[in-house]
Structure 1
Amino acid sequence: MIIDMPETTTIAVDKRLVRLRDEGGAVALGRVLTLVVMADESDVETAVEAANDASREHPCRVLVFASAGPIDAEPRLDAQIRVGGDAGASEVVILRTVGPLQEEPDAVVMPLLLPDAPIVVWWPREAPATPSEHPIGRMAHRRITDSVMSAEPEEMIRSLGEHYASGDTDLGWARVTLWRGLLAAALEQPPFEPVTGVVIEGEKGHTSLDLLAGWLRARLRAPAVIDHKPGATAITRVTLQRKGGDIVLDRPDGRTVTISQAGAPDRRIALPIRKLNEALIEELRRLDPDEVYEEALITGLPLVDAEAAQGDAA
Structure 2
Amino acid sequence: MIIDLQNTSSREISAELTKARRGAGASGLVLTLIISTTDEHFDAAIEAARASATAHPSRVIVVTHVDDDQARLDAKIQVGDGLPGDLVVLRLHGPLQQHADSILLPILLPDSPTIAWWPNEGPDDLAADPIGQLADRRITDAAGCQDPQQALLNRARHHAAGDTDLTWTRLTRWRALLVAAVDQVQADVTAAKVVSAPDNAPATLLAAWLSVKLGVPVERVDGARVGVSEVRLTTTEGDIIIERPANGTANYSVPGQPPRKVALRRRPLTDLLTEELERMDPDEVFESTVAYLLASSERA
Alignment TM class, shorter chain as reference: over 0.9
Counterpart contact for 1:223–1:304, Cα < 8 Å: no
Equivalent in the alignment of 2:86: 91
- Distance in 2 (CA, whole Å) between partners of 1:247 and 1:306 is 31
Counterpart contact for 1:234–1:254, Cα < 8 Å: no
Equivalent in the alignment of 1:184: 179
Q: Which runs of 4+ in 1 moved over 3 A?
A: 302-307
Shift of 1:306: 7.1
Question: Which amino acid in 2 is paired with 1:157?
Answer: L
- Distance in 2 (CA, whole Å) between partners of 1:269 and 1:105 is 45
Question: Which amino acid in 1 is paired with 2:243?
Answer: D
Counterpart contact for 1:244–1:262, Cα < 8 Å: yes
- Distance in 2 (CA, whole Å) between partners of 1:17 and 1:61 is 10
Counterpart contact for 2:105–2:134, Cα < 8 Å: no
Equivalent in the alignment of 1:250: 243
Equivalent in the alignment of 1:312: none
TM-score, with structure 1 as normaliser: 0.91
- Distance in 1 (CA, whole Å) between partners of 2:230 and 2:7 is 52
Q: How big is each residue's C-alpha offset from its partner over 1:35-92, in whole Å with a ceiling of 9 and x where there is no partner?
A: 111111211221111111111111111111101x324x211211111222463x1211
Query: Which of 25, 34, 53 matches 1:36?
Result: 34
Question: Which amino acid in 2 is paired with 1:272?
Answer: R
- Distance in 2 (CA, whole Å) between partners of 1:148 and 1:106 is 26
Question: Which amino acid in 2 is paired with 1:206?
Answer: N
Question: Which amino acid in 2 is paired with 1:52?
Answer: R
Counterpart contact for 2:233–2:239, Cα < 8 Å: yes
Counterpart contact for 1:198–1:222, Cα < 8 Å: yes
C-alpha change, 1:269 and 1:293, in structure 2 (3 Å) is: same
How high is the sequence identity, in percent, across the aligned residues?
38
- Distance in 1 (CA, whole Å) between partners of 2:124 and 2:143 is 15
Counterpart contact for 1:225–1:304, Cα < 8 Å: no
Counterpart contact for 1:148–1:205, Cα < 8 Å: no
- Distance in 2 (CA, whole Å) between partners of 1:125 and 1:259 is 33
Question: Which amino acid in 1 is paired with 2:122?
Answer: A
Question: Which amino acid in 2 is paired with 1:269?
Answer: V
Equivalent in the alignment of 1:80: 76
- Distance in 2 (CA, whole Å) between partners of 1:273 and 1:70 is 36
C-alpha change, 1:302 and 1:10, in structure 2 (3 Å) is: closer
Instruction: Trace 1:226-241 onto structure 2 (pairs within 5 A).
Output: 226-229=220-223, 231-241=224-234
Structure 1 residues not aligned, in runs of 5+: 310-314
CA RMSD of aligned residues (A): 1.7
Counterpart contact for 2:139–2:166, Cα < 8 Å: yes
Shift of 1:303: 6.0
- Distance in 1 (CA, whole Å) between partners of 2:171 and 2:232 is 15
- Distance in 2 (CA, whole Å) between partners of 1:138 and 1:223 is 37
Equivalent in the alignment of 1:273: 266
Equivalent in the alignment of 1:218: 212
- Distance in 2 (CA, whole Å) between partners of 1:225 and 1:86 is 49
Stretch deviating more after TM superposition (15-24 or 99-108): 15-24
Query: Which of 192, 200, 203 matches 2:197?
Result: 203
Structure 1 position 4 matched with structure 2 position 1: no
Structure 2 residues not aligned, in runs of 5+: none
Instruction: Trace 1:1-314 onto structure 2 (pairs within 5 A).
Output: 1-22=1-22, 28-67=26-65, 69-71=66-68, 73-85=69-81, 87=83, 89-190=84-185, 192-229=186-223, 231-299=224-292, 301-302=293-294, 305=297, 309=300
Shift of 1:9: 1.9
Counterpart contact for 1:236–1:250, Cα < 8 Å: yes
Number of positions where the alignment pairs a residue of Structure 1 with one of Structure 2: 300
TM-score, with structure 2 as normaliser: 0.95
SS in 2 for 1:22: coil
